[in-house]
Structure 1
Amino acid sequence: MKSEETIYHIPVLLNESVAGMNILPNGTYVDVTFGGGGHSKEILRHLGKGGRLIGFDQDADAENNIVDDSHFIFVRSNFRYLKNFLRYHNIEEVDGILADLGVSSHHFDDSERGFSFRFDGELDMRMNKRAGMTAADVVNNYDEEKLANVLYLYGELKNSRKLASAIVKERAVKKIKTIEHFLTIIKPYFSREREKKELAKVFQALRIEVNHEMEALQEMLLAATEVLKPGGRLVVITYHSLEDRMVKNLMKTGNIEGKQVQDFFGNVLTPYKLVNNKAIIPTQEELERNPRSRSAKLRIAMKKEEK
């Protein structure tokens, strides 16, 4: 029989990411992607009497996994509001921040959420079901150019313009509401050999747009830089090149764009020192146990001491 945690989500790179936080028993930590609570539970095991952990998640379903622990505070909100909610709880600085940016198994396996092309259902894809825009709103209301841009930028689809054109033509005849209807439109544009990979890219692009994921990630990363104590750790697990590039840029240069600013001696001015110069990836054992970890990359950086 599977545990409740496993049913919701198997935590990726669990030991490596928690070890990377270099947890102090009396420290204050944040898990900005609480989800099934797997990473949070492991962090809590390392905390002592004075330790605190704040868990963020905008999805109401995550509340079913809240940890019953006096050291834990749950915040139902998007992690882009990290700084605001820390201040609400009278927390100015933290010793470590963990972000697992992957979509949980729970979301992919819930046909009602519309995250997966494996099931029919409504084209939804909202992480926060209280939010307004759905994937159906995107495919039915965006103009052709904007739709093509979403598919190209967030899905890296070379045939984004053809896909957008086909979607616009179909919706002029009948509104696109379900996954099944949507698939009948886009499947002819992919070869059978690459169909699953390409469909995954389409759904990724729509999900990122619906949830404003790149904007939210940028805001969270910049806020993390402000609230981390000197010596504090930023630990991030990424799953696709767009978010990984953003995280890598911030850790190496201190900004999202990756623009290097150097001092008189040619040293790059950045608030971070890389803990691992090369991204940590899952072991073969983990890949066999949890195939969804296959694209995961773990990056760890330490906030430099202020001079």
Structure 2
Amino acid sequence: MNFNHISVLLDESIKYLNCKNGGIYVDCTLGGAGHSEEIIKNIRPDGRLIGIDQDQAAIVAAEKKLAKYNTQFELVRDNYQNLNSVLDRLKIEKVDGFLFDLGISSYQLDTPERGFSYKYDSPLDMRMDQRQATTAADLVNDLSVDRLTEIIRKYGEEKWASRIAKFIVDFREDQLITRTDQLVEVIKAAIPAGARRSGPHPARRTFQALRIAVNNELDIIENALNDAVSRLKVNGRICVITFHSLEDRIVKHTFKDLSTKCTCPPNFPVCACDTEQKVKIITKNPVTPSEKEVEDNFRARSAKLRVAERK
């Protein structure tokens, strides 16, 4: 299967990155390389692109897609939580811009054997990095009812979390849950019929929660953004695209913390608040897709872009 992925907020991201020829830019979530390709178009021939992704399928597809451009680029199979070590290995001290496109790619969702989607009957996997040992099946078959409830409620914002967790634990007493269809049926049984008649697919929130837990998606965002800002050149930009409120909340608060100014009096000899304003927030309110983009790509509907600039 080809690595098909429609890049969200593509024009807006490139605009806010302020790409320039000769600059060094890092796409921390390579995916289908749509953003990376546009970055390369704007920095060639002397610019340099670093693309990072933990999914080997993304690396292979990006190599083919970007090979036609006469611009230096390096693709690294790694997790963006290891951003500092990646840049150290490449002997890069400072960067002109970072792009984070958080969440899951269309390729991952639409490849049944990856087990991300409730739409296909497939192995219950959900690993973005298939070198990783733990799968979604491991979580639903091994975790306690309390831990499953916590994950489904926290990461899926699912009101029926405790009931779903109990149904999972009861079901697995008779047989292991190894396939997506099994889990979907358990979730449907757990959620009362009246609550299933409206709103999104009843399994959507639980699948999101398990995917986030399997890949530790939320816990790494704040540290990664702080690392990126520490490697930005003055006036360099960091652009972050999120797809649900949990991600966006972390990005918003991290940018706010990084943009906080010292509150000590001007004549104070030593800063007592230990606060340094590291960035200026460029987007007071997040940038969202146009009606046309949502019409063309329904998965873009919840996307938000936040941008900050290094002081």
TM-score when normalising by structure 1? 0.92
- State how 1:1-307 maps to structure 2 within 5 Å: 8-62=4-58, 63-66=60-63, 67-68=66-67, 69=69, 70-188=71-189, 189-190=191-192, 191-194=195-198, 196-254=200-258, 262-264=262-264, 269-304=276-311
Would you identify which runs of 4 or more consecutive aligned residues in structure 1 move more than 2 Å?
A: 190-198, 264-270
Q: Residues 8-46 of structure 1, C-alpha deviation per residue, up to 9 Å, x if partnerless? A: 100000000011001121111000011111000000001
- For 2:209, give the aligned amino acid: A
| Cα separation, 2, equivalents of 1:269 and 1:130 | 39
Alpha-carbon contact 1:187-1:195 (below 8 Å) kept: no
Instruction: State the SS of the aligned residue for 1:121.
Output: coil
Gaps of 5+ in 2: 267-272
| Cα separation, 2, equivalents of 1:227 and 1:261 | 20
Alpha-carbon contact 1:253-1:269 (below 8 Å) kept: no
Count of aligned positions: 295
- For 1:138, give the aligned amino acid: L
Q: Residues 135-187 of structure 1, C-alpha deviation per residue, up to 9 Å, x if partnerless? A: 00000001111110000110011121111111111111111101111111111
| Cα separation, 2, equivalents of 1:277 and 1:254 | 14
Q: Residues 256-285 of structure 1, C-alpha deviation per residue, up to 9 Å, x if partnerless? A: xxxx67413699853111111010000000
- For 2:277, give the aligned amino acid: T
Instruction: State the SS of the aligned residue for 2:220.
Output: helix
Query: What is residue 269 of structure 2 aligned with on the other side?
Result: none
| Cα separation, 1, equivalents of 2:276 and 2:201 | 39
Alpha-carbon contact 1:44-1:53 (below 8 Å) kept: yes
| Cα separation, 2, equivalents of 1:20 and 1:131 | 34
Greater Cα offset, 203-212 or 265-274: 265-274
Instruction: State the SS of the aligned residue for 2:122.
Output: coil
Gaps of 5+ in 1: none
| Cα separation, 2, equivalents of 1:80 and 1:231 | 23
Alpha-carbon contact 1:252-1:270 (below 8 Å) kept: no
Task: Among all aligned residue pairs of Structure 1 and Structure 2, give the percentage whose two residues are the same amino acid.
Answer: 40
Alpha-carbon contact 2:156-2:209 (below 8 Å) kept: yes
**CA RMSD for the aligned pairs?**
1.8
